Amino acid sequence: MNDKVAILLPTRNRWQILFDRALKSILNQTHKNWHLFIVHDGLVSERITLTDDRVSIFYIDKVYTYPKTDKKAEWLAGACNALNKALSQVNETFDYIARIDDDDEWKPFMLQEMIDFLKSSNVDFVSALWENEHGIPSETYSLDDLGLGGISKLGGVQTWLYKAKHKYTLYDGECWKKSLNANNELDWFERFFKGDVTMGFYDKVVCTISPRPGETEIGSKAYVK
C-alpha cells in the first residue's frame, strides 16, 4: 500500500480563492502521494491549467436537480454532479479518498496524521475537528442529531478521509428534498453509515474554514447571502 489519496474538489469560477486557500494547503501537505481532481461545474469565465501532474481539472456542464432560483437547494445539492465526476476518476491505484472545498485550508499534517490514525484505529472512515479564522475549534455533529443513533462524533466534510474501496457511494443530487440530512455530505454520510462501515474520530483540528473575502459568514448563510 502506497497510501495514495484521491482528493475531490468541486468549484465554479473561484480560481483565486482556490489557489490561495485549498490548493496552497494541499501543496503544503507533508504527505505527498496524492492526486487532486478539480471539477469545475457549469459555465466557466476562465479556463486554467496547472503544471503539477498530480492535479487534473475537468470542466462539466451544470446539471440542475433542484429549482434554479432556489439558492438554499443549490447549496445543499449543487456540488453532487461535480463530486461524482471526481469519484469516477478514482481507480485501483488509490488507497484513500478525501474532500476539500475551494475556500478551505488543511493543516500541513492533515493527510499524514489522518492516514496514521485510520490505520492505527483499524477503521474505514475517520473525521476530525476544524477551526474558524479565530482559531476556535468547531462543534461536531452528533449521530443522534442526524437520526443515526450512537454517541460517536462526526467532523465536517473537510476533515473526512476514507478507504477508496468505498468509492461507489455517490452523491445524490436530490438530497435537498429530504427533511433530515438534506445537505449533500450528510445525505452521503447517512447512506455510508448505514452500510456498516467502521469509523473513528480524530480529536484534533486539521482544517481552517474562514469567510471568503468581503464576507462575514461561512456555510449556507454565506452561500444564500
Q: Which pLDDT band holds residue 30 (cuts at 50, 70, 90)?
A: very high
* Region for residue 149 given its phi and psi (left: phi exceeds 0; alpha: psi -120 to 50; beta: otherwise): left
Q: Which pLDDT band holds residue 151 (cuts at 50, 70, 90)?
A: low
Do 66 and 73 form a contact (C-beta atoms < 8 A)? yes
Neighbours of 146 (CB within 10 A): 16
* Region for residue 172 given its phi and psi (left: phi exceeds 0; alpha: psi -120 to 50; beta: otherwise): beta
pLDDT for residue 123: 96
Cα(143)–Cα(156) distance, integer angstroms: 13
Closest C-alpha to 110, from 179, 208, 199 = 208
Query: Which residue did the predictor score with more confidence, 225 or 133?
Result: 133
Tens-digit pLDDT profile for residues 167-205: 999 999 999 999 999 999 999 999 999 988 999 999 999
Q: Is the dihedral of CA 64, 70, 74, 76 positive or negative?
A: negative
Q: Quickly tell me which residue has 443530487 as its cell.
A: 173
Tens-digit pLDDT profile for residues 195-211: 889 999 999 999 999 88
Neighbours of 155 (CB within 10 A): 24
Q: Containing H/E element for 142?
A: strand 141-142
Helices (H), strands (E): how many in the chain? 7, 10
Contacts of 196 (CB under 8 A, 6+ apart): none
Question: How much of the chain exceeds pLDDT 90, in percent?
Answer: 82
Q: Residue 215 in 3-state DSSP?
A: coil
Q: Containing H/E element for 221?
A: helix 219-224
pLDDT for residue 81: 97
pLDDT for residue 145: 86
pLDDT of residue 218 exceeding 60: no
CATH 3.30.70.360 is the classification of domain 5-224? no
pLDDT for residue 75: 93
Do 80 and 171 form a contact (C-beta atoms < 8 A)? yes
